[in-house]
Homo-oligomer: A and B are copies of this chain.
C-alpha cells in the first residue's frame, strides 16, 4: 500500500498540493473545512477547483468537514493548508482525532511522521504574543499528546501552477534537517523541486512578510499606471530593501539571513510581486485609492489580502523579539504598517516609498 498523506484544507494551495503528492506516489486524502463545502462538492464531481482552474488528479479521495477522523485514518503525513486564522482550531480538532486513533490502534505518539505547514501568516498565541504558525501547530499538537515534528513549506509556489504540474521550486525546512531531506527526496519530482533546509523559522517569517512587501511592489506598479511612466528603479529599490528587511526580521526570530536570500525569501517575493492579491491591492493604492477603499474594492471581489493583516502583526512581532530601536531597521515595513493603519501614506506614496527605501549613505 502506498504511504498516505492527508491534506487539511481544500483551498487553492491545499488542493494544488494533491498534484505533486500524487505524482510522488502518495495516496492523497483531501479534507475541506466547513468553508470548503462547495469546493468539496465540485472536486468530487471531477470539476476544476474554482481558484486553480484544475481538477484533482485521479485517485484523490475528498472528505467533507464532518469526516475529519476518517480523512486522517492511516495517514503517515499530514499537510496543514488552512487559512491562517483557522489553523489553531482546525489543528486542535485534527490533533484530537489523531490522538484518539493512536489510542485505539496503539500507534506511537510520533505518528504521523510529520505535519507539513503550508498555511502562511502570523498568529497570536493564547498569551497574546505574535508567533509563527509552525509554533502554533507544534504547541497545539503537543497539547493533545501528538508529538509529530512540523515542517515549514515555503518557496515560490503559485497554487494554480502547482496544480497544473508546471515547474515549481519549494522549500521544506525542519528543525531536524535530515527529516526535511528525507521528505524532500520522497516528494520531489521533475516538476516539483524541493530544497531541504533546517531553518523553519526563517521560512515562516519570509513567507508571511512577502505578502506585506508585495503590497509595496504593487504600489510601484500602480504609480506607473497613474503617472504614465514606469517606476522600475523604485520598484527594484523596494524589492532589494524588502529582501534586506526580511533577512533582518528572520534573524530577530532566530532564523538565518541566508533563508531570506534564497527561494523562500527572494524567490517567494518575486512570484508574489508578479501576481496575486497583495500585489493587486498595492496597485490600487498606487493608482490613487486610499488603503481602506482599495481593501473594500478587493473585498467586493471576494478577495482577502493577507498582507494587510500581516503588516501590523509583523510590527508587533518586531516589538516583542527585536532589541530597542529594532523598528528603525525595517523602515519599509514600518511605513507600510503605519500607512495601512492610518489609511494614508501622507499625500505622496511615491516619495514616502523613496524615503523608506533609498540608501542613506551607509558606508
* Interface residues, chain A, with chain B CB atoms under 8 Å away: 155-158, 161-162, 164, 166-169, 171, 177-178, 180-181, 184-185, 188, 190-191, 193-197, 229-237, 239-240, 243-244, 247, 261-263, 266-268, 270-271, 274-275, 350-351, 353-355, 357-363
A168 pairs with B233, CB closer than 8 A: yes
Docked Cα-Cα span, A184 to B262, in Å, equals 29
B361 pairs with A156, CB closer than 8 A: no
A194 pairs with B361, CB closer than 8 A: yes
Docked Cα-Cα span, A355 to B189, in Å, equals 11
B156 pairs with A232, CB closer than 8 A: yes
- Chain B residues within 8 Å of A268, by CB: 236
Q: This chain: how many copies in the complex?
A: 2
B156 pairs with A359, CB closer than 8 A: no
- Chain B residues within 8 Å of A178, by CB: 363
Given contacts A158-B232, A177-B363, A191-B354, contact A237 B267 (CB under 8 A): yes
A361 pairs with B240, CB closer than 8 A: no
Q: Among B193, B240, B266, which residue has its beta carbon within 8 angstroms of that of A359? A: B193
- Chain B residues within 8 Å of A240, by CB: 156, 169, 262-263, 266-267, 270
Can you spell out 22 A-B residue pairs with CB atoms less than 8 angstroms apart? A156-B232, A157-B233, A162-B233, A167-B231, A167-B234, A167-B353, A168-B234, A169-B359, A180-B363, A181-B363, A184-B361, A193-B358, A195-B359, A195-B362, A196-B359, A197-B363, A233-B271, A235-B271, A235-B274, A236-B267, A240-B262, A247-B261
